[in-house]
Structure 1
Amino acid sequence: MSRFIAIVHGWHVHSNGFTVHELQSITLEDANKEACWLKEQREKDFDKCAYVVVAIDDTEYLPRRLTWRERITGYLKATS
């Protein structure tokens, strides 16, 4: 069973930073709805936001730390 996290990024003229939320949803569709609701809660008149939902499998394990790009995009860089 997968777990989901949502990464919400806000900006006005410059970045207002990222917030990471653990979602309670079981399916990807419900996770996207929950993340959209979180995004709308953070948005203000001139502060726009975007989000990405990342699925985390319970059996996943990475023997190294994630890079910043991997943390932001949710995609792992292939290593050989």
Structure 2
Amino acid sequence: MLDYKCAHAGIVFKEIDEAYTTQTCSSCGSLPESRSKGIAGLGIREWTCSGCGVTHDRDINAARNILAAGHGRLAVGISVL
């Protein structure tokens, strides 16, 4: 439905696969071993990337990764308020 409406309005619509967006570091782009995994990992809201040392909130990190994927670039420099 969104694809149809965007096409009609002349707006670009891009569907993003959200797999691993909470686990991929939005700063360095790595999928570090220090990330939380599986159903048990859903309770872990914050994690630190073993690659670059940046601490992430799961939801904010996912939002940055999805936004970057929508723009077709890395999430570096994207600030989410």
**Which TM-score applies when normalising by structure 1?**
0.24
For the pair shown, the structure with the greater C-alpha radius of gyration is 2
Considering fraction of residues, name the structure with more helix.
2
**Which TM-score applies when normalising by structure 2?**
0.24
Work out which structure has the larger RCO, using CA pairs closer than 8 Å and 6 or more positions apart in sequence: 1
Considering fraction of residues, name the structure with more strand.
1
